[in-house]
Structure 1
Amino acid sequence: MNLRRAAAVFMAGALAMAACGGDDDDATPAEDTGEAAADTGGDCVVGVSWNNYQEERWAKWDEPALKAAIEAGGGTYISNDAKSSTETQASNLENLISQEANVLVVLAQDGTAIMPSVASSIEQGVPVIAYDRLIEDPAALYLSFDNVRVGEMEAEAVLEVVSEGNFIIIKGNSADANADFLRQGYVNAGIPPVGENSDTITIVGESYTDNWDPALAQTQTEQFLTAANNDVQAVLSENDGMAGGVVAALEAQGLAGSVPVSGQDGDQSALNRVALGTQTVSVWKDARELGTAAGEAAIALCADPDIANVGGTAPFTTANDVEMTSILLEPIPITQDNLDIVIDAGWISQEDACAGVEAGAVAACG
């Protein structure tokens, strides 16, 4: 063990014990603490810090692809779960370093709060990949989908259905830069900026949503609908989970299917809502591609810790004018017209996508 790792182990002893403990009542990442994996003697150990492993996509899509890419490159995967706690995630990074992680992949619970831990990791010689969510450290590699483009696609799909009237905007977690990237995409597509209206569109309700919580999104939508006496023509929801809450609120008022709703991630239930007509669009970010790209980048960083030498990178300037090195993948908006794309890709079965759909109503459903 070199001096950097010896220091990391000394600093993280108590924290590692805490991070390895906890309850086991919910799903946990594969090889959660990774202690056995770290003893295999591999030359490249990649530590992954999940912010909240209970989200459907992380276990189903991201982790298997990430893990497979790491192992295909001769590396070893270890991980832990912060369970939506910024404090736990900070200790989890030290825990992963104490287990000999050569590279960290961090899905940030709070991109600002985790910055000191990320800076410390990089100072210790452990490169960091900011996975799917921005961490504004120019020494970290930012790897995600083009989230501004995702916002544009959401708004464009809704505006094709309804281009004027009263709109509600349900944004994600305020501590997640993606929420503001998506909102900027809305503006780019023609939605008024925060606090403003246009000649054709009035924003009758707009709010952030802690932890992208569907239940909170439903409550907020209910409140906005009440305040507007149900006179709402569209709802821009920044992701599919929250869109589920939005649609539930609309259903209670008899508005589901007549008010267009946006979302993103290609969640199974959301794609079914698209087929049923209660959700207009789910911008599909194939998490398998993202996981694979992160695994391959991590293997590259084991060989050469200079993020500038990772293949496929490009400059990215944040809203705060921080110059980052990034890999941004291209999303695909899924509507009833191209639902076959996700079915043909094996992302969802035709049976699940088309459950409850009237025969002949949607081409992809037969």
Structure 2
Amino acid sequence: MNRRISGMLLGVLLAVSSIAGCSSSQTDATTAKEEANTEKPGGVGKVGVAMPTQSSERWINDGANMKKQLEALGYEVDLQYAEDDVQMQVSQIENMIASGVNCLVIASIDSSALVNVEEQAKNAGIPIIAYDRLLMDTDAVSYYATFDNKGVGTAIGEYIKEKKQLDQAKAEGKSYTIEFFMGSPDDNNALFLYNGLMEVLKPYLDDGTLVCESGRTSFEDTCILRWSQETAQQNCENYLTGFYSDRKLDICATALDGFAYGCKSALEGAGYKLGEDWPLITGQDAELMAVKNIISGYQTMSIYKDTRLLAEKCVKMVQAVLEGTEPEINDTEQYNNGKIIVPAYLCTPVAVDKDNYQKIVVEGGYYTEEQLSQ
């Protein structure tokens, strides 16, 4: 009898122990899951990031900043560069869709070539965010993160106006020569920049305060496919040879640091010298080399675009669309892509030159003194 009772008690104890063990295991699993979610506040998701090229420092920084910030939120990131090969970018995005990404961030090479693959993403329920280059002729894009591209052109134009004192020059009957090097015709941002620039400078072209000896002032005549530095250099060489044998070029109005590098090479080849007849040269992106050239005098200014901030705004858009909330937007009128007006967040561009680079890019933590002195 006692043996039987003892056996029953032992069975009860074993059962209780087993239940407690299961409960403990479940608690441990729940705790581990909660800890994992705590480590990854953004939750679960995979984001495809399609960048145009690694030939420009700014796109390398954009991709790195975005990847870092998305991964900090717990997202898996597939970052791809297409090296300005349109079909390669199409294939990369197709592969991202096939791999099951939950969101796409696209900085296009030629947005007209992406319409079909964007439709694939839409049909698969994958939201798309355009990054710094508007995606045209599609209703598959949800949001647009960029800098104020017309504002970039306006800032360049205002800088030229102020540095060359164009109003005073007009009053004195003085004139300056100028040539234009504008962005790629397949990049909608390039036209915005051109329009902003010409809003400031066209009156001075019309009244003769600014003289373009080549006569190439329209966007069609000054745009440079794929933002090619080599083409900018060749164009500048042709202008100097064909139109400036008897008169010096005073201003290279360029829309990109790479164009400024090309103009620098062309000017050196034509015998221009710092401190003597070196022209005012503008740029965009405040690349490390550009800031070094600004310090040395070979480039006059650049438009500083803090890619850390732009990446942050884009990452918040990704997080919002994947969590079903509304991202921060400050423009709902300007960016009509031919199908829809794309809600956008516009970051503010800043003109950087020898007088303020220290405060803006060094004290702002974008570059160090060591980087600029190497």
Q: Same fold (TM over 0.5)?
A: yes
Kindly indicate whether residue 47 of structure 2 is the aligned counterpart of residue 46 of structure 1: yes
Kindly indicate whether residue 149 of structure 2 is the aligned counterpart of residue 147 of structure 1: yes
Partner Cα separation in structure 1 for residue 280 and residue 227 of structure 2 = 20
Q: Residues 185 and 267 from structure 1, CA distance in 2 versus in 1: closer, same or farther, beyond 3 angstroms?
A: same
1:227 aligned partner: 242
Task: Tell whether the 8 Å contact from 1:155 to 1:262 is kept in structure 2 after alignment.
Answer: no
Question: 1:107 deviation in Å?
Answer: 0.9
User: SS at 2:343's partner residue?
Assistant: strand
Partner Cα separation in structure 1 for residue 207 and residue 185 of structure 2 = 24
Structure in which a larger fraction of residues adopt helix: 2
Counterparts of 1:84-123 in structure 2 under 5 Å?
Answer: 84-123=84-123
1:29 aligned partner: none
2:36 aligned partner: none
1:331 aligned partner: 349
- Can you list the C-alpha shifts for 1:55-96, whole angstroms capped at 9, x where unaligned? 22222x212221122122221111222221212212221110
**Bigger Cα displacement from structure 2, 235-244 vs 86-95:** 86-95
State how many pairs are aligned: 308
Counterparts of 1:1-366 in structure 2 under 5 Å?
Answer: 43-59=44-60, 61-136=61-136, 137-140=138-141, 141-162=143-164, 163=166, 164-191=175-202, 197-205=206-214, 206=216, 207-230=222-245, 231=247, 232-257=249-274, 258-304=278-324, 309-318=326-335, 322-340=340-358, 341-353=360-372
Partner Cα separation in structure 2 for residue 264 and residue 182 of structure 1 = 10
User: SS at 2:146's partner residue?
Assistant: strand
- Can you list the C-alpha shifts for 1:178-206, whole angstroms capped at 9, x where unaligned? 2111111111222369xx74432222344
Q: Residues 189 and 227 from structure 1, CA distance in 2 versus in 1: closer, same or farther, beyond 3 angstroms?
A: same
Task: Tell whether the 8 Å contact from 2:286 to 2:302 is kept in structure 1 after alignment.
Answer: yes
Structure ID, larger Rg: 2
In structure 1, the gaps of 5 or more residues are 1-41, 356-366
- Can you list the C-alpha shifts for 1:231-262, whole angstroms capped at 9, x where unaligned? 32211010101111111111222335431010
Q: Residues 78 and 199 from structure 1, CA distance in 2 versus in 1: closer, same or farther, beyond 3 angstroms?
A: same
User: SS at 2:281's partner residue?
Assistant: coil
Q: TM-score, normalised by structure 2?
A: 0.77
Partner Cα separation in structure 2 for residue 219 and residue 67 of structure 1 = 36
User: SS at 2:97's partner residue?
Assistant: helix
Task: Tell whether the 8 Å contact from 2:49 to 2:63 is kept in structure 1 after alignment.
Answer: no
Partner Cα separation in structure 2 for residue 216 and residue 49 of structure 1 = 25
Q: Residues 192 and 354 from structure 1, CA distance in 2 versus in 1: closer, same or farther, beyond 3 angstroms?
A: farther
Equivalent residue letter for 1:214:
Q
In structure 2, the gaps of 5 or more residues are 1-42, 167-174, 217-221
Partner Cα separation in structure 2 for residue 90 and residue 350 of structure 1 = 40
- Can you list the C-alpha shifts for 1:31-73, whole angstroms capped at 9, x where unaligned? xxxxxxxxxxx721100112213322222x2122211221222
Partner Cα separation in structure 2 for residue 320 and residue 292 of structure 1 = 23
Task: Tell whether the 8 Å contact from 1:67 to 1:295 is kept in structure 2 after alignment.
Answer: no
- Percent sequence identity over matched residues? 28
User: SS at 2:285's partner residue?
Assistant: coil
Partner Cα separation in structure 2 for residue 244 and residue 177 of structure 1 = 23
User: SS at 2:346's partner residue?
Assistant: strand
Task: Tell whether the 8 Å contact from 1:52 to 1:83 is kept in structure 2 after alignment.
Answer: yes
Task: Tell whether the 8 Å contact from 2:183 to 2:190 is kept in structure 1 after alignment.
Answer: yes
Task: Tell whether the 8 Å contact from 2:51 to 2:107 is kept in structure 1 after alignment.
Answer: yes
Equivalent residue letter for 1:223:
N
User: SS at 2:144's partner residue?
Assistant: strand
Q: Residues 283 and 249 from structure 1, CA distance in 2 versus in 1: closer, same or farther, beyond 3 angstroms?
A: same
Task: Tell whether the 8 Å contact from 1:48 to 1:105 is kept in structure 2 after alignment.
Answer: yes
After TM superposition, what 4+ stretches of structure 1 lie above 6 angstroms from structure 2? none
Partner Cα separation in structure 1 for residue 203 and residue 85 of structure 2 = 33
**Bigger Cα displacement from structure 2, 45-54 vs 205-214:** 205-214
TM-align CA RMSD = 2.1
1:4 aligned partner: none
Task: Tell whether the 8 Å contact from 2:310 to 2:347 is kept in structure 1 after alignment.
Answer: yes
User: SS at 2:315's partner residue?
Assistant: helix
Question: 1:109 deviation in Å?
Answer: 0.4
Task: Tell whether the 8 Å contact from 2:332 to 2:344 is kept in structure 1 after alignment.
Answer: yes
Partner Cα separation in structure 2 for residue 279 and residue 53 of structure 1 = 22
Question: 1:126 deviation in Å?
Answer: 0.6
